[in-house]
Amino acid sequence: MFKETVIKSDRAVAMIYTIFTSVLIFFFFAAMVDIGHGLLVRRQLQSMADAASLGGAMEHDIVLESDNGELKQVAVIFEEEAKDTAEELIERNADNFNFYYNNDSENGEEDNSKKFGRVEIVDKEITLKAEDELEVSLRASVDAVLLGLVTEGEVTDFYVQAAAESTVTPPEENS
């Protein structure tokens, strides 16, 4: 009689361990999937920042400047044109990567088909640091779908960011 009780008890303990381990494995799987998605989004965001920075820096002109009586070529970025070009490239790439940008919903209604795995650009900064240097910083919110399910809605999203900087230099003069 004593042996049967021990065997039933061992089975119950094994089942509890199995359930606990399964839940733990599912949680780690969910975390890996969401973190992997976040890394993919960060790479895409970096591509967007690079393209915007390079595209904006293309809006420049080479001017002659006097330095102690000596003329030298200097690159000057046109601030407004550079910012407009960078903004346009960010919008175009946000469309390519299916990111939400500038409240993409029309007529105040959200598109529920894009809810799963939603990525939204929440912050962008386009700065002319010097007359020949443009910096673009982007920050996006990534929907943590599986972690949201596992944590019952406590972890719903996380942020990724990327930055790029472009400097324009005049061509070297031939001697």
Most distant CA atoms of the chain, gap in Å:
107
Q: In this structure, is the dihedral angle defined by the CA atoms of residues 10, 15, 20 and 25, taken in order, positive or negative?
A: positive
Q: Is a pLDDT exceeding 80 seen at residue 166?
A: yes
Q: Is residue 156 part of a domain?
A: yes
DSSP state of 99: -
pLDDT at 14: 87
Q: Does residue 32 form part of some domain?
A: yes
Higher pLDDT, 152 or 15: 15
The count of other CB atoms within 10 Å of the CB of residue 24 is 10
**Does residue 175 lie within any of the structural domains?**
no
Domain assignment present for residue 172? The answer is: no
Model confidence pTM above 0.85: no
Question: What is the tally of structural domains in the chain?
Answer: 1
3-class DSSP state for residue 128?
Answer: strand
Q: What range does the domain containing 87 cover?
A: 2-104+111-167
d(Cα 117, Cα 99) in Å, to the nearest integer?
Answer: 10
Per-residue pLDDT reduced to its tens digit, 122-139: 999 999 988 889 999 999
Helix (H/G/I), strand (E/B), else coil: 103: coil
In a domain, 77, yes or no: yes
Encode pLDDT of 41-62 as tens digits. Answer: 999 999 999 999 999 988 888 7
SS3 120: strand
Distances (CA, A) of 174 to 69, 76, 167: 20, 21, 21
